[in-house]
Amino acid sequence: MPTDHAAALPGHPFFHYQDGTLFAEAVALTELAQQHGTPLFVYSQAALAHALDAYQQGFAGRNVGIHYAVKANSNLSILQFFAEQGCGFDIVSAGELLRVLQAGATPASVVFSGVGKTRAEMQLALRTGIGCFNVESEAELAVLNEEAGKLQIRAPISLRVNPDVDPQTHPYISTGLKNNKFGIPHERALQVFQQAAALPWLEVRGIDCHIGSQILSERPFLDALDKLLDLVAAVERCGIALHHIDCGGGLGIQYQTEVPPQAGALWQKMFAHADARGYGDRRFLIEPGRSLVGNAGVCLTEVLYLKPGEDKHFCIVDAAMNDLPRPAMYEAFHAISPVVPRAGTPVTTYDVVGPVCESGDWLGRDRALAVQAGDWLAVGSAGAYCMSMASNYNSRPRAAEILVHGSEHRVIRQRESFAQMIETER
């Protein structure tokens, strides 16, 4: 049984056991599950602030813009929190643009990434006056120039460079290798910068890269920075001045036993490197997602049935791959802890699975748990890429979300009703 006040889930500083119950800050998760039902996503505002502060510690005296990557968790209240803290945003769609505007973002604080921006999305972003388009191909550059010309608005752009650096992460979330669809090959980038500078409706502002996600060592970030700085030097030699250098996101978090670099320490090293090369006083942008929200959230789920088997025992819960798709998609590990640990119930090794009709619908494999039907479990590291990737598969309405702040909590997304789920269909 975990001791009181012990960190209950790896990497979650604001979730702890007290009096035999798991708490988020000063709120007992039993109360939230009882009051709001399950599956239920619960986020800690203190954990969000803590994660942001970890970055800021590496930025003292530097000129840095933090652009939260909306795709990690796009709940309006989470976006509003980051906007209030002075963050900008990294978006990848018109939908994300509308969300950040509704959350109070200033348009100039928005950078727009993505390999497949549509003309309609470009027009919306141009009219809104976003800070920068992170352009990912020559074809996109030409279309953006056309659309900007039609609106007579010069488009601020950065070129996303593919530095061909191995982020040593899951192949599905590596983005900075030659064979990934993202960015402009770094060998071609100088030429494309020159093309961009010659187009009448574009204003070259920056350079960017994003090499992947859940990166657990400093080396790939430093290698990518080196390649970007080589290009900055070459581009500026051609008379094209760059206003900012955007290093993307990608810093990993602890799901299990991983030891990711600490954000502040990583950035101190990045700046030491930039200083050594004479670029430390430049404006840098970053686009973190997972490392700001991942360990600020858990997903609460109820044990529906225990199903013993010959080779496997199953713990069937009411959350599923539609709520939390990362295990099914990437075989990702998420820690699972009981909300009220039991004494006296034997520990059994279970596969924790959901009700969806797929054998891939599992949340955890071979987990030692002392549980009974009706118990609540907390699935860890559920703040990033869980609710934002949730679906209605098996016609399951989307879960509710709660934001805890000290001893207070508020519903930041209501549980979807069956009527809402089908209202747009005929």
Ligand X SMILES: Cc1ncc(COP(=O)(O)O)c(C=O)c1O
Ligand Y SMILES: N[C@@H](CCCC[NH3+])C(=O)O
Residues flagged as binding site for pyridoxal 5'-phosphate: 250, 287-290, 385
For residue 92, give every residue at least 6 positions away whose Cβ sits within 8 Å of its Cβ, in sequence order, or none: 70, 71, 112, 113, 114
Active site residue 238: no
With CB cut-offs between 5 and 8 Å by kind, which of ligand X, ligand Y, none does residue 287 bind? Answer: ligand X
Nearer to ligand X, 115 or 143 (CB): 115
**Which amino acid makes up residue 194?**
Q
- Check if the beta carbon of residue 336 is closer than 8 Å to that of residue 255: no
Site for ligand Y in 389-408 (CB under 6 A): 389
Nearer to ligand Y, 24 or 293 (CB): 293
Residue 248 contacts ligand X per CB under 6 A:
yes
From the list 132, 247, 315, 357, the catalytic residue is 357
* β-pair partners for 207: 159, 245
The distance from CA 17 to its chain's CA centroid, rounded to whole angstroms, is: 26
- Check if the beta carbon of residue 92 is closer than 8 Å to that of residue 113: yes
The CA distance from 296 to 229, in Å, is 33
Name the minimum Å distance from CB 287 to ligand Y: 10
Name the minimum Å distance from CB 71 to ligand Y: 6
CA diameter of the chain: 74
Nearer to ligand Y, 326 or 405 (CB): 326
Applying CB under 6 A, the span of 56-64, 99-107, 249-257, 323-331 interacting with ligand X comes to 249-257
| Polymer length in residues for the chain | 426
Residue 69 contacts ligand X per CB under 6 A:
yes
Query: Under DSSP, is residue 302 helix (H, G, I), strand (E, B) or coil?
Result: strand
User: Taking CB under 6 A as the rule, which mask of x and - marks residues 25-64 in contact with ligand Y?
Assistant: ----------------------------------------
Distance in angstroms between the alpha carbons of the first and the last residue of the chain: 51
Other Cβ atoms closer than 10 A to 181: 10
Site residue total, ligand X (CB under 6 A): 16
Detail the DSSP E strand segments found in 31-117: 40-44, 63-69, 88-91, 110-112
Q: Which of 158, 254, 291, 381 binds ligand X (CB under 6 A)?
A: 291
With CB cut-offs between 5 and 8 Å by kind, which of ligand Y, ligand X, none does residue 131 bind? Answer: none
DSSP 94-121: HHHHHHHHHTT--GGGEEE--TT--HHH
Name the minimum Å distance from CB 330 to ligand X: 13
Residue 385 contacts ligand Y per CB under 6 A:
yes
Binding stretches for ligand X (CB under 6 A): 69, 72, 90, 113, 175, 210, 213, 248-251, 287-291
List, by residue number, the catalytic residues: 357
Binding stretches for ligand Y (CB under 6 A): 71, 173, 175, 213-214, 326, 385, 389
